[in-house]
Amino acid sequence: MRPACALGEDVELVRRFLSVTQTRQRIFEGLLSLFVIVLSIWGTDIWLRNREMNWNVLRIWTLAQVGMYDGPPMVVIPAGPFEMGDSDCTAGDKRSSCPPHSVAMRSFRMAKYEVTFDEYSAFVLDRDDIKLPPPYEGWDRGSRPVIKVSWEDARAYAEWLNKIVARNKTFRLPTEAEWEYACRAGTRTRFYTGETETHLHQAGWYATNAGDQTHPVGAKAPNAFGLYDMHGNVWEWVEDDWHTSYTGAPNDGSAWIDTPRGPGRVVRGGAWSSKAWTCRSAMRFNDQPTYRALDVGFRLSRSVAPGH
């Protein structure tokens, strides 16, 4: 029969053995978990790169799936009257920005920035029938405004946001009157920073200073409402059908829509490729709703509910 002390030593050895074994098992499980995490991150990164996307896109998409994405940052635009169109129109002037007319605006919200590639890519990630616009000559994407999107693409993006964003927010393209009112921010000058091209240089990217490409949103001076890039960078789609003048235009800020809808849609603001005169607050142009180009993007707006 073995002494009690020897039996005690055996028990202690077993305990130590089991403790070491358990410690090794925990270390192994920890390393295995770390390996799985690293492998998942690596695989996800490859997957994103193959789709020409990044981690910020995945962040936006994930927040959208769980109802925690609020959409693009918005600015409340106060109600008020303004004079829409060019102020120097003469009798019989054939410019589409004539004749000037008074419009009484209700309060609404306008996106602080143009919709970026990252924001639009989250929409593409969620839709098999929508393709991300291809890269162009090495231009970065990320926080630059999305380009080569049609009026129809812009509306589809707004509809997607309305399905996945919490608190029943209703995003849409701005009306043309909303766009000009928001751009002017109480001014009557050519640009919201002043009359001259020097003033435009402060506010936007255009043919003289853009270097033949778009730029990240928010890099130039905002207007009095806190909106960026209303002059230049990319043309912006609005909801309205194209009309060759303001004769008969609504005076309440609503979209001017024909029945049936006309063949053209309005774009505003000018772009990186535009001359200074084309970037002024009153400038209007038009394209077909299916048109996609390197200098056309969009921003969103939404109505303000009474009492909000």
Q: Which of 204, 173, 211 shows the shortest CA–CA distance to 190?
A: 204
How many angstroms separate the CA atoms of 70 and 74, rounded? 10
In terms of DSSP bridges, do strands 235-241 and 101-105 run parallel, antiparallel, or are they unpaired?
unpaired
**pLDDT value, residue 108:** 97
CA distance 112 to 302: 12
| Range with the poorest average pLDDT among 9-13, 158-162, 172-176 | 9-13
Asked whether the predicted pLDDT for residue 51 surpasses 80, the reply is no
Q: Do 178 and 301 touch, CB atoms closer than 8 A?
A: yes
Q: Cα–Cα distances in Å, from 97 out to 11, 111, 128, 282?
A: 95, 24, 40, 6
Helix pair 4-50, 55-65: axis angle to 10 deg:
100
Please give the Cα distance from 210 to 5 (Å, whole number).
87
Least confident range of 22-36, 142-156, 214-228, 233-247: 22-36
Contacts of 253 (CB under 8 A, 6+ apart): 103, 104, 105, 106, 108, 175, 177, 178, 181
Per-residue confidence (pLDDT) for residue 47, from 0 to 100: 55
Q: What's the pLDDT band for 169 if we cut at 50, 70, 90?
A: confident
How do residues 93-152 score in pLDDT, each as one tens digit?
Answer: 889 999 999 999 999 999 999 999 999 999 998 888 888 887 777 788 899 999 999 999
pLDDT for 12 beyond 80: no
pLDDT value at residue 24: 74
Pairing of strands 301-303, 108-111: antiparallel
Query: Which pLDDT value is given to residue 257?
Result: 97
What three-state secondary structure class fits 100? coil
Q: What is the pLDDT of residue 93?
A: 86
pLDDT at 39 over 60: no
How much of the chain, in percent, has pLDDT values that exceed 70? 84
Torsion sign over Cα 277, 278, 284, 286: positive
Helices (H), the chain: 4-50, 55-65, 117-125, 151-164, 176-184, 197-203
Q: How far apart are the C-alpha atoms of 119 and 237, rounded to whole Å?
A: 17
Contact 93, 99 (CB under 8 A): yes
Give the separation between CA 198 and CA 265, rounded to whole angstroms.
Answer: 30
Phi, psi dihedral angles at 193 (to 5 degrees): -100, -5
Q: Mean pLDDT check: name the lowest of 43-47, 63-67, 289-293.
A: 43-47
